[in-house]
Amino acid sequence: MHDTIKQIKPHVEFGISPFGVWRNQSKDPTGSATRAGQTNYDDLYADILKWERNGWIDYVSPQIYWHIGKEVADYAIITDWWSKNAYGCLLYTGQALYKLDKKSNVKAWRSSKEIMRQIKLNRSIPNIGGSMFFSANYLRNNPLKVKEKIKRRLFKYYALPPVNMRVAQVLPEAPKNARIEVVDDRISLTWDAGENNAYFVIYKFKRNKAANIENAANIVRVTGTNSIKGFVNRFTDPHKYYYAVSGISKTNQESVCVIFK
């Protein structure tokens, strides 16, 4: 599968979402400190670590669908183990939204705080590039109002996906002709796409301050269009702020920023 995908579209990422435990330490000293009743290697015949080492997959998203502190399969222990055994693969942890339920038999899943705790823990562990929430249906159904809570507290700003260096990179050209126009109380930003621009990032910076694209709080919009419009107010006033746009390629490479004139 890997070779076929790369032959047709070498920039496409090929990854898997395996069961959360590779092997228990009781079977293999390099395994995790868990007592899972089923494992990838011994029961599902999937040697995920070999796939990672050989470059057969570009990312891995283990289904770590247990709570922090679970005796036989602790989310904290397993997440740390995958971080140390990613072998250059991008790692996204699988979060069990489907377990959130006020009537759950497990106390941890009766509150959306468990998901919050897990994401905060992820951010303290190296090599974790983000989360995958299982499943999209549960994200739409929004159990225990988890969506509002993580947006307000943990995902307050836009974020750009990580660049995966295991795939053939597509480099973007910078957008062109970035123009700003203010008429009455309306502000309009327009630009032309450069080569290999799949989408764009609009930044806002305070005047007399350096443009810092590393701070996600400076991102105004991530968009696939070539213009955005809004109203002039104290948060957008071009006398107080200046704007810039960058182009993002289909492999998440970002171009240099162009200042709106």
This prediction has a pTM of: 0.91
How many whole angstroms separate alpha carbon 181 and alpha carbon 223?
A: 19
Average pLDDT for 72-83: 98
What is the pLDDT, as a whole number, of residue 179? 98
Confidence label for 4 from pLDDT (cuts 50, 70 and 90): very high
Mean pLDDT over the full length of the chain: 96
- The SS3 assignment for 53 reads helix
In this prediction, residue 188 carries a pLDDT of 97
pLDDT at 119: 97
- In the predicted model, what is the mean pLDDT of residues 85-111? 96
- What are the distances in angstroms from CA 199 to CA 204, 226, 247, 253? 17, 9, 6, 11
**pLDDT on residue 186:** 96
